[in-house]
Amino acid sequence: MFVNEMITAKALMMNSTRSWVMAQSGPGQTVRVLQLYGVVGADLAWAARELIARDLVDVIDLNFGCPVPKVTRKGGGAALPWKTAYFGDLIGQVVQAAQESSQAARREVEVPVTVKIRVGIDESHETMLDAGRAAQDAGAAALTLHARTTNQYYSGHSDWSRIGQLVNTLDIPVLGNGDVFSASDALEMFAQTGCAGIEIGRAVQGRPWIFREITAALWGQPIPAGPTLGEIVEVIRAHACGLVEHFGNEKAALRDMRKHVGWYLRGFHLGGDTRAELTRVETLDDLERRLYDLLQTLDPNTPYPEAAQGKHGRSRAQRHVKLPEGWLDTREIDAAATKALHLAADDFDDPYAKSEAEPYPAVRLDK
């Protein structure tokens, strides 16, 4: 299953055109999984109802594993499970909303709610067992554990033994996450942890074919060779065209595409000037010209480079976790936490809000 980009419940409530566009899945996505972010149960429940009523989702995944400072300093992401009772109540509100909306929409199968967490804030403030039980008791259908603490960010190697510990603690399926960059990594995580599934993040950046490699390994088949440069160029073209079609804004879509081009061409000896030019493309024609020039310089049959395999993506060192003042003083929702989470405020400073300077066009959501 493929999970779409994380969307904030508050942005949907504010009727952000961009966010509603992001909430749509491609026509070939048979199981539509949307990752939802928020810190207020009522907001997340509202978003769940709307997404189901508009027939945009088959699974709702709540992300409480994000370690980004601008999120945790507001009590969101990986900071929230510290307030375990509140965390469980929040999940319960979303589960109830999903059940009621599924019934109202006459769905044969209710939309399940899944949850992603980390081990804890740091080694002195672990939350995974309490948070896992709270999520299970609240009706979560499955739970994913990124086997690092928040202060570890993406440093070192995730401790897969913690995934196994959670597998042995909970009755609901537990998925593992962290440092699966190859088919052999996937097999090893299954063997070490007994997890029900694996969630892959950084490894897919510029390398979507990792899924066919893992699938082959799980079926005991030979691992397919990586794509040639020419094949990757075709993937880049298809990806760029798909973004333009989905968002309806060529300039904005190509701006988003720039990072993907860099990831796709990781490890190939392009030269600094060529890479710089590819990070400045603004139209499909411009991208096509740059790719044509690239294939005039390098052989399209150039094999997939070894340098592009293995661990990649974000790998920052451990850091001090940015938290609201007094957040660790109690696991209950006190006055300071109420203020940090905006539970008593009419406005909300959305840490994931994006500029609407170039808004995407209005989208018809007939359903």
Cite the annotated binding site for FMN by residue number: 35, 116, 146, 201-202
The amino acid sitting at 214 is I
**66 given a catalytic annotation:** yes
Retrieve residue 83's tokens: 């307030």
Using DSSP, state whether 63 is helix, strand or coil.
Answer: strand
3-class SS at 203? helix
Catalytic residue among 3, 22, 39, 66: 66
Burial of residue 113 (number of CB atoms within 10 Å: 0-12, 13-18, 19+):
buried
CA distance 150 to 320: 9
Those residues with Cβ within 8 angstroms of residue 167's Cβ, 6 or more apart along the chain or in another chain: 174, 193, 194, 195, 196
Alpha helices in 23-150 (DSSP H): 41-53, 69-72, 84-104, 128-137
For the record, the structure tokens of 197 come out as 């599934």
Residue numbers in the known binding site are 35, 116, 146, 201-202
- Which residue carries 């899944």 as its tokens? 114
- Closest by CA to 114, choosing from 52, 203, 41, 34, is 34
- How far apart (Å, rounded) are the C-alpha atoms in residues 56 and 22? 11
Residues whose CB falls within 8 Å of the CB of residue 32, separated by 6 or more in sequence, listed in order: 4, 25, 56, 57, 58, 59
- Say if CB 145 and CB 175 are below 8 A apart: yes
Catalytic residues: 66
